[in-house]
Structure 1
């Protein structure tokens, strides 16, 4: 049977919060894997994927087909999952401090005694994954194509098989972070053969069919990585690779009704209009057109159709360094 690694951390109100985690051990001849979802608690798709993967891993262990070990944390963030306000889950930022849940993991790890309950949770999550050879953090964007976010040191040698197994549309390669994300902290403080973030489309893309598709893809990747003793084949990957600095992030110049005229996966030319914002419905003069900064493909879009000034409207791939890129992470 899987070993139960679940633990508790103190919540903001002093109550104990539960994090479910399980490890499936094989004969020790294969890699050690850490899979987690829900560090941003409002990104649900990966939780369902890992929920579906768990019984398959248990059967694999029971049948003696497991060569490596697999640790699974299907819902990693007990703080964010409880932040329902007026019917909406506010799971990206810690309500008590305003901190992005996927930031400052490195600071938490450096503390001998974490200074806060949030830091204690972060440190325990990193420590659980620290001895893994292969680490995957499952996220989703607002509305998005499936894409892989990966450090240059792992591309393409270790990452290409993962991109092919998941058949992601885009691979975004990064060099410098500096924000202390979970992935970056694992890379800086452990010695993984691969650590990457998988963006499983958009936040509303949660269904049994998509979860089965992604669980099958992860299963195939585990097989070809030598974790599971089973034959699997993956197709040739034909997606797009883009340096993070070449990604174009378009922000809303004003608040208003957002109307897309191009959609996920569409290609745009430099200067081409792809959306407009209507600041004052009824006033034609309040419409503001939005144009592509360079030729590229639309990878993400804003999920809500009433957008606030300064919000990310869309992200596009590009072939040259973005004029707006100043280093650091993809998202503000």
Structure 2
């Protein structure tokens, strides 16, 4: 950070600190993904009214702008909020690994009571966080966000894609427990993985519970945090009406989970079945050129269907100038690039298939 520069996180709290269940929401860790900010603005208004009525049973923590560093990054008038211009990489990667910190003699703090073990794990996580000394500004941001969320029962990281339908990333161990979340928010593609790669925020919060349960299998350690990443459609899908509806769904989810008192109403019919993240076909362009999309987000396609064409504007042969990109699987197009210029290797379209693809491997399942 430059001399004279200071940044802070704006944190809203509803209910009593330490009350259970605790829910945590943050928006726009990728700072140029703005739909999530508006969703949390609407959710905070609803939570404020509920708090005034004494209806918050647990605790809700809301960080409406999770990345003040990225929010300040502009290059030639364009917001650049996904990667740190300092060279620290993708803001949603490389969060502290609390699992690694809970090693050594930690097993001596566990017993046969699941609730007591949850308390022991959270206390050890707090100690590990307190002992960390981030080396730079981005590391300090990651540390601060994890410090707000590590002990939550529910932790949701709100983002958006380039052009997309609403979709959801969850840890495989969270399914089917999180099926109500997927249905309530109207997810059209719910993607499951235990280790997606790069240690993003949601896995930094929820992942330790799955790993510790496996490591210390002789002691009952439940998956005490439901963590996930919600992708609120595409970058341009910003409106008061959509944000209000999305906030209503999050509020009803909190009611259903007992964080907020009140009738959540009937659970909506799910719009999708959960599918493996390693079943997603990341359709890349092998050539440079202009992208002409052939199918829309939300459409179902079959293996072999053309989803886009890349046109070389310098090739005078009309037919030879065109390279068709086809899906390798049956599934739904849940996202595609907003850019219309392709370079070799660029991800043009994403299709959620039901079966794992042979070249998709745990630990390398996310885009850059």
- Give the structure-1-normalised TM-score: 0.91
Aligned pair count reads: 321
Q: 1:257 to 1:128 in 2, by over 3 A?
A: same
Q: In the alignment, which of 178, 185, 196 is matched to residue 204 of structure 2?
A: 185
2:154 paired with 1:137: no
Stretches (4+) displaced over 3 A: 11-14, 26-30, 107-111, 188-192
Which of residues 304, 308, 312 is equivalent to 2:347? 312
* CA positional deviation for 1:320: 2.4
Quote the residue 1:258 is aligned against: 291
- Offset of residue 258 of structure 1: 0.4
Closer/same/farther in 2, CA of residues 27 and 253 from structure 1, 3 Å limit: closer
The answer to which structure has the higher strand fraction is 1
Q: Which residue of 2 aligns with 1:174?
A: 193
Question: Residue 13 of structure 1: CA displacement?
Answer: 5.5
Using the alignment, how far apart are the partners of 2:27 and 2:239 within structure 1? 15
- Structure 2: state its 5+ residue gaps: 99-127, 210-222
Deviations 1:229-276 (A, max 9, x none): 111113121313210111110111122110011111222221122210
**Inter-partner Cα distance in structure 2 for 1:294 and 1:90:** 33
CA distance in 2, matches of 1:298, 1:140: 15
Aligned counterparts of 1:262 and 1:112: Cα–Cα separation in 2: 47
TM-score (normalizing by structure 2): 0.83
Residue correspondence of structure 1 range 293-304 to structure 2 within 5 A: 293-304=328-339
The separation in 1 between residues aligned to 2:97 and 2:87, in whole angstroms, is 15
Aligned to 2:219: none
By relative contact order (CA 8 Å, sep 6+), the higher-ranking structure is: 2
State the alpha-carbon separation in 1 of the partners of residues 262 and 251 from structure 2: 10
Counterpart Cα distance in 1 of 2:18 and 2:200: 29
**How much does 1:197 deviate?**
0.7
Root mean square deviation, CA, Å: 1.9
Equivalent position of 1:99 in the other structure = 89
1:193 shift after superposition: 2.8
What is the alpha-carbon distance in structure 2 between the residues aligned to residue 113 and residue 30 of structure 1?
Answer: 29
Q: Which of the residues 184, 187, 209 maps onto 1:165?
A: 184
